[in-house]
Structure 1
Amino acid sequence: MYKKIPKAMKNLQENYILGCTRVSLHELAVTHDVSDKQVKDIFGLKMYYHREHRVQCICIVHVKSKELNEGRPSGDKYSLEDIQNIIDSDPAYKQLSAKEEQYYINQLNEYRALKMSGACANNVSAARDAVAVMDRISKELHALRDRAGHVNDQVQLTWIVTDNVHEFWEDQMSLALDDVACQFEEWVCNQKKTDVSLGRATGKMDLQMNYQNYEKAIVLVYGVKLDGWPEGLPFIAPSHMHTILEVRTLRDALVTGACHWKKLTQRELEDLHMDIQRRSDAGEVIGMVRKKCSDTGKTHKCKAPAAEGATDGTMAKGDSKRTQKSRRGQAA
């Protein structure tokens, strides 16, 4: 078993490491002719070494406020400034023992835990609590979007669920939350940039991109070509790309204009048509070939439209009468 290191020994080790680090950082500062503070900021020294702080004044204020204001009417309670002055004038709070410090900390932690998870008294207070919390979360998320929300950020998408909510997606939607997050990020990066730019190039805003039959359904029909496709990127729909990096690469090219729709001349269209015909004659499959129906080449009988209100019996009689008339006409 490992023995617990005494606190004094632990502090001695930390001071020794800190002293050695300071000497090394000072030598680096002298070597590169910079200040010690610049070297410390570069290495993030203040992020790795923290001294233990004594009990916060807020813990004492909380306990003292509860002690002084409990049972008092709303207009006769001590203010925060009065409570702080009382604490500052009391010498008993100047030097607290470790047991007393822990007592004040525990009192504040219990109060915070009660505020965080305590049940509401009635439905009205529960509804107000839900509205206030959702409003605070909405403001925090919008502020986070403004600070760190851009297409090139490296923030990992995260789900926050309660209880077993994630099982709903797997049981009912047959989707894992990680897959949903990846699809959402692809959608955010793409945002139908290709379809929008294609609609502007052709004047048909409802036109959708066809990656499988791109040359036949898009280039030859509308006379436009997607020029500047990122090198090394497969020519497939963004929803079928494997990594977020590929989607971001395509989106950046579309936003900057490096990849854009180009109007082809009549000569270029004729050359493309001849090239497609040549490749097709050589046995190459151009685009996606639709699967043939199982009854291809067979004759299909056309049924006469039924009149409104006609039953199966009347339809059969009408068909027999038309057949008899046709036979009489042929005999004549």
Structure 2
Amino acid sequence: MSEPPYQHPLLFNLPGTFGTNFDQAPPALYSGSLSDDIFPLDMDMSTIDWTTLINDVSAAGDTLPPIGDDLHLDAPISLSNAPSISPNVGQPLLGDVAQCNASPHSSKPLDTTDSQHIASEGANGSSSGGYPSLPTSDASTPSHIPENGGNSLSGGNYTIGREPDVEGPENDVPVGTVRQRARVGKEEAARKKVTTLVNRQRKQIADEAAADIKARWDQERVEFNEKHGFSPDYAHPIFGLGGTIKGTRTASASNALNSRASIYFNQGRAPGERLGMPAVMAMMKMDPTWSTKAKDLDEEEQEELRAELAHKREESATALRPTRLSGSKTADILVKRIDGDLHRLEAQTDSMFFMMSTKRSHDSAVKTAITGSEDVYDFFLSMYKLDPYTILKDFQLYALKRKLDQVSGDSIDKLRALIVNLVRSSMAIVLKPGQQIPMSYTNFQVNILEKYYIKIIGWPAGVPFIKPADIGSVDDLRKIVAAFKTGAAYWRPLTAHEKRVVMDDVKKRKEMGVSAIKPRAKRSDCGITRGPQENPKRKKSTPSGKENAPARKRVRVEDKGEGTASNGIFKSRSTIDTDEDEDEEQVGDSGDGDGEADDDE
């Protein structure tokens, strides 16, 4: 195994205030003498004048300058005066060089910083013969690595550590000690590479096995639910799956009281100086006015607090954003959240979804968004021959052309007809294909609920449940239209429990002999024998007036090349004998018409 390429081990950059910023790093093993690592066997040492180098370092007697907050080291250390060094440092180095059978000369001079670190270790003490002490623990920190990445310790043989417990002269400042860094050889790197590949293959095999187990488990769960009469997506509590969807927490009286106190204590405070909820709760305990707990209040007061907080949350959730950027940010966050919920819905319930969103004004910064299941794209192409992205563009143009808060031109008759279509089309979702049910409002309980076991959910509050033709308020009609258009009102089949309740009610009603069908109103002449009645809507035919005369008949004539009524071609005569109308004479001469019509005119 060949030796790694040479890299200078003592070239350090120490920007910033070092010394106290070095933390302990994982220990590294030390093997061999320091000179063996500093001067490898393949290093050319024929050009180094060791005697001159060591004498120059020993001649400088100044110590290291004190390092404080006023010294900013943004560049590699370069001291004008070398620190003091023990005179016996050079002999061990020369001895190690002699053991390598190399000449004490090299073309690569030592860096000034390198010699300073060696001198500093020699001045602080050595374990034997002036060598720097080599503790068993390594220390390094990113604080001594420059931001530009140059001359860093990454991949080096050594790092620098701090020894706060080393004792020395009073004017001597311990900077650090040289530690050996562990280096991964080729064999170790190859072994790690093989281990990584093996672990990757094991993970792939485990994932495939887990997928098979998951498929079998899903199939067994479906069979279990079918056997015991549960819904397909039901998960028995013993399975330990837990809940998948977490609902929104309802407003409590305690939270409402804290919210009201937060508004009170933050009055007049700047946005950056407002108190947080912990500080508000601490002030509530010290203030007798707010020290009362929510549970000690009356039920009416607690209900008022809950309603107030619920209204505040609703306003905060539906309030228009004050700026374009805040509106765009809100839309981006909500769309991503909804998209994640829809994909989770698809994964957990095996369903499909599709959603589009766009802005309504040209000044808005909200981005147009589209999301859906993978098969939705094929659905639009196969069913409507349209690309979903083309529909999205048309949807955006339609939204920009609409004007909000404008007077609607829909008449009351048009709204009534629209409600009929909405109720009928929404009912088709819960029915079989091609099946239609006549809607009944008066006898809805019997003709719809008890007969077909379906009902309407979300009918607008305050609007009577009657025929649209009997609703005279335009506002009520618009509420019904908006409810069915947005999906707030919809049809839903009855659950098993609701079916049992309906069947029990029908059984009790039959036992009591009560009819659920509302009887029709009796006529005013009920019980009176009536003879033939004339229809007042039918008008009597009178001989007078052209409007009551029978239709005239045209006489079929032979075709003389000028066109007849049979072929639909009529040609005018070349000359006109008179300009008077002869229709009246024809009517009078013909026996089909009424002769008195001419006399009336």
Structure number with bigger Rg: 2
Would the TM-score normalized by the shorter structure come out above 0.5?
Answer: no
> Which has the larger share of helix?
1
